[in-house]
Amino acid sequence: ILTRYYSLQVSEYEIYQTQSERNRVQLQPLPPKRGLIYDRNGVLLADNSPSFILSVVKERVPDLEATLTELQTLIPISDSELEKFHERLARRRPYEAVPLHFRLTEEERALLAVNRYRLPGVVVDAQLLRRYPHGELFSHALGYVGRINEREVLELDESDYSGTFHVGKVGVEKYYEDTLHGEVGYQNVETNAHGRVLRVLERHLPVPGSDLTLHLDIRVQQAAVDALGDSRGAVVAIDPLTGGVLALVSTPGFDTNLFVNGISTKDYSALRDSLDVPLFNRAIQGQYPPGSTVKPIMGMAGLESGLVTPETTGPDPGWYRLPGDSRRYRDWILRIRGTGHAPQVDLKMAIAESCDVYFYDLARRLTIDTMYDYLYPYGLGHRTGIDTTNERRGVLPSTRWKREAMAQPWYPGETVSAGIGQGYMLTTPMQLAVATSVLASKGKRRTPRLLQSMDGVPVEAPLLEPIVASEAHWLAVYDGMREVVHGKRGTAKYLSKDIQYEMAGKTGTAQVI
């Protein structure tokens, strides 16, 4: 007994003193407050709401399975929550509290408090969880946060995400994750044998994430959603002067709040299996034939290449035929009038009435590779670089593209189809908005941006090399686009009945199977 006493009190004193201190004093992470997100008018789009979380510290629990069973008798804990708890348990650090159940109700907290004395190692903490006040309205523009998964655990800095259970998954939330997240703090606390905090010995406060103000305007966003109604579709509105995205809509959307704490299997299956594909962001991921919306850019290509002038005219019988080929490429007007738009068509009429024959011939004379060279700077055929996730690049065809993608040569008939935005050509609504913005600003190019300012400090959209073209050529194309809306035979003349201002535009119909 004396030998053992000497060993414990003298020989191994420092070892047991260190172990005692480790059990008594703990270093706890203090997660930072995630930055808020506002629209350009100061309307709150993403905030943080207080929530109570039930967590378990394994080292403090005498019998983990018995404790979990006991907790299930007190509050409703689903099998999926238990499964995710065990997954998180496998990758936690020693003495780290592992979340088991989120968003405890007041009644559940009371039950746990009453039974606290027989639940060693069970912790109830207050934390801030992400909340999206407008839910579905900004689902594709903002994206959402979700619980950190196993793959993200390996990718994220472990020390930087101590005490944090959520991370940006998609959209603005993911793109600006580093900015929104902030910096973790910590505190040294003294605990009793059950792990209850007795006092705080030292505290280093966390640095909150930066608040973001976006170019998005909730009024424009709502107007776009209302205009689409129950239809599947996308709307993108860009300010040509700043590159700021005023609206980014894809319908139908979904309630982003469902994803914050882990969406249920039932809810996720409903979204995943819906024929409307609400999780698909049509504005930046949908790739569609642009149809006649590319005709104003084709007009600029013809003018700048010197192949046509604003006064150049060409015959329009309602169909077009390549030299030496008997096949007829029909104009859409042929099945309506039985003839073409007019005996002779100039650029203004070709844009206003969307004359296919005019652009069939222009495309043939330009050739597909020259078309590629003129259309690419407008933002077609490559990602625009907008500050969000999962943008697709579209397809701007060329002889090289077809050779590499399909191992086939390019045929003249395919050039004719590309001249009116059909065939292999694919664009996203975001690309078309960027291209129209370049047209509207007479060649000024900016990378489109959702972010307007960070903590009140303005953030400008990156400038790109401008497209240099003749002033007369810009005005000639504008004249045709103005006639689309205000001309007697413009393809969108119905719009002019309800507006009190002058507007330029271009309609387009894609042939999609």
Determine whether 251 is exposed, middle or buried from the number of CB atoms within 10 Å of its CB (0-12, 13-18, 19+).
buried
What's the token pair of residue 100? 């088991």
Placement of tokens 């299930």 in the chain:
72
Give the distance, in angstroms, between the CA of residue 223 and the centroid of all CA atoms in the same chain.
Answer: 19
The number of CA neighbours under 13 Å toward the Cβ of 366 is 33
Instruction: Give CA–CA dist 151/315, Å, rounded.
Output: 62
Told to judge if 292 belongs to the known catalytic residues of this protein, a careful annotator would answer yes
Given the residues 292, 398, 437, 441, select the one marked as catalytic.
Answer: 292
Tokens 């941006």 locate to 449
Residue 49 forms beta bridges with which residues?
129
> Token match 């689902």: residue?
139
CA distance 160 to 169: 17
Separation CA 35–CA 176 (nearest Å): 10
**Which 3 state secondary structure label does DSSP give 495?**
helix
- Check if the beta carbon of residue 340 is closer than 8 Å to that of residue 316: yes
CA nearest neighbour of 510 among 247, 279, 332, 275: 332
As a whole number of Å, the CA-based R_g of the chain is 31
> What separation in angstroms does the CA of 105 have from each of 31, 74, 102, 135, 260?
22, 12, 9, 22, 17
Question: Residue type for 459, please?
Answer: V
List, by residue number, the catalytic residues: 292
